[in-house]
Structure formats: structure tokens, C-alpha cells
Amino acid sequence: MTNLNSILSDINKLSNHDKEIIIDAIEEILMFGSCALDVESDIKEHRFSKGRVCPHCGGHDICRYGKSQGKQRYLCHSCKKTFADFTSSPAYNSKKPLEKWLLYAKCMINGYSVRKSAATI
């Protein structure tokens, strides 16, 4: 049975390079996982800061319209179109989750090349 002490013991046996890889992985899990949730809630809060507004027509007659793939959808009664929290945003059409974009941004800030940043995420 694996426990924390055996994990720590195994980590101590690793090379410094492998320890850095583990630190990066833990950092990614701890920092960017929660950071992505904060960014998502910030985007939602900003989008709906003046009430719910349809990104297609600007209408305010909006209701919840179920969920798709775990994401809340909304229906605009004015134009009859549906939308989600990220519709018409750069994140909407991205196939990569927000966590990956945050990690990519971290790589760019650290001065990695585009190629190395892409390989890292």
C-alpha cells in the first residue's frame, strides 16, 4: 500500500532533474487547476456584471437552458439562440482547456520559445 512516506522516500531517490519535473507537475495541479477556476468565475462575473445579456443580440430576456458537457447553457427569448458562459470569447472555440492556456502563458513568461512552450503543455 502506497502512503505519503513511501512517496516522499521515492522522491528523495530521484535525480534533481526528475524532482524538478515533479515540482512542475504538482505546481500545475495546485496552482493552475484552482487558478483556472478563478479565471472562469471572473469571466462569468464580468460577462453577467450588468445582468445576463445575450452575446448574439444583446437581449436581456435570458433563462437557463440546461447543461451541455457540464457547462450551463442559456436561451435568449429575443433571438431564440442559445449560448454558454464563454460564447463569443477566445476560450469558446479553443479545444484546449483554460488550464492549458494558463500553463502556456507561464511558459511564455518564463522565456520559453513557442516550440518549447507547446511541447511543455
Residue selected from 35, 39, 43, 59 as contacting Zn ion according to rule CB under 5 A: 59
Task: Report yes or no: 116 and 103 within 8 Å, Cβ to Cβ.
Answer: no
Question: Counting contacts by CB under 5 A, is residue 76 touching Zn ion?
Answer: yes
Residues 6+ apart with CB under 8 A from 100: 121
Residues 121 and 116: their CA atoms lie apart, in Å, by: 9
Nearer to Zn ion, 60 or 67 (CB): 60
Q: Which of 6, 34, 41, 78 binds Zn ion (CB under 5 A)?
A: 78
Radius of gyration (Cα) for the chain, nearest Å?
20
Q: Does 79 participate in binding Zn ion (rule CB under 5 A)?
A: yes
21 belongs to the binding site for Zn ion (CB under 5 A)? no
Strand order in the sheet with 71-76: 62-68, 71-76, 82-84
Q: Using the rule CB under 5 A, is 104 a contact of Zn ion?
A: no
77 lines the binding site for Zn ion (CB under 5 A):
no
Which residues would be at the binding site for Zn ion (CB under 5 A)? 54, 56-57, 59, 76, 78-79
